[in-house]
Amino acid sequence: MSVTWSSADLGTLVPGDPPVTLRYFDTHPLPSNQDESTAIIALHGLGWNSKIFLPWLSHAPRDLRVLGVNRRGYEGSSPPHPQPGTFGRELIALLAFVRSKGTAPLVSLLSHLSPSQLGKPSPSLPVPFQPYLPSLSLLRSMILFEPPQVLVGLPGPASYPGLGDIQPSEMGPAFAAWHRARLPQDRLGVVDAASDGAFWDEDMGAWYAAEAERGE
C-alpha cells in the first residue's frame, strides 16, 4: 500500500495564535467513486512521527484508507505552543484535522491519546473547544496503544523501571533508549527512521500529566 505525503493547512485555530499546519500521509488521497466504509487516522506517540505506522500498511486491506498525521512539533508540522496551553491546542489541532479529512462514514482513531482526554476536553483548558467538538461525531471508534496508567492520568515514562531518577531535561533521550533496548535488532531500522525528538520536553509535559492538576 503506497502513501502520499501532504500538509493540511488548518488556519488559525485559536485567536491570536499563528496558523497551524500538520504533515500527514494518506493511502487514498484522491476522491473515489466507491463509498469508503472505513478510514483510520493514526496518531503517533512520543518521540516518533507517523512513519512508525508505515511497516504495517502492507498488512492492511487494500480498500482501507489510512491517514497518519504528524502532531505539532514533529516533522513538517507546526511547532507546539509553549506551556500553558500546549495540551489543549494539541486536541484542537487533532479535531480540526479530523474535520478536514473525515469524509468517510466510519472514521477510527488509532491513538496514543486517552479517550477521556479526547472525548471530554476539560473546560478549564484555556482554549476554545466548542467550534471543534462536532468533529467528535465523525469518530466511531478508537484503537488505543497506550500505557494503562496514562488512561487515568498517572505519570508515564518517569514511573518506568530505570527512568525514575532521570532529570526531566534528559527524559526524552532516556525514554527513547529505554524503548530501543527492548526491540529486536531487525526492527531498529523502522524505529530509527521514525525517530523525531526535537520537542521531547514540550511533548512529554503536554501528554504525561507533568502537572498535578492535569493528572487529576
Mean local confidence (pLDDT), 25-34:
71
For residue 64, what pLDDT is reported? 83
Which residue is listed with cell 499563528? 18
Q: For the segment 113-122, what is each residue's pLDDT rounded down to a tens digit?
A: 444 444 444 5
- Cα 98 to chain centroid distance, Å, stands at 12
Residue 173 reports pLDDT greater than 60: yes
Candidates 2.20.25.650, 3.40.50.300, 3.40.50.1000, 3.40.50.1820; CATH matching 4-152: 3.40.50.1820
Q: What are phi and psi of 170, to 5 degrees?
A: -110, 0
Report yes or no on whether pTM surpasses 0.85.
no
For residue 26, what pLDDT is reported? 92
Q: For the segment 45-71, what is each residue's pLDDT rounded down to a tens digit?
A: 878 899 989 988 988 888 788 899 999
Residue 21 reports pLDDT greater than 80: yes
Confidence band for 18, pLDDT divided at 50, 70 and 90: very high
Confidence band for 212, pLDDT divided at 50, 70 and 90: very low
Give the whole-angstrom CA distance, residue 62 versus residue 114.
28
- Contacts (Cβ under 8 Å, ≥6 apart) of 114: 144, 146, 150, 151, 153
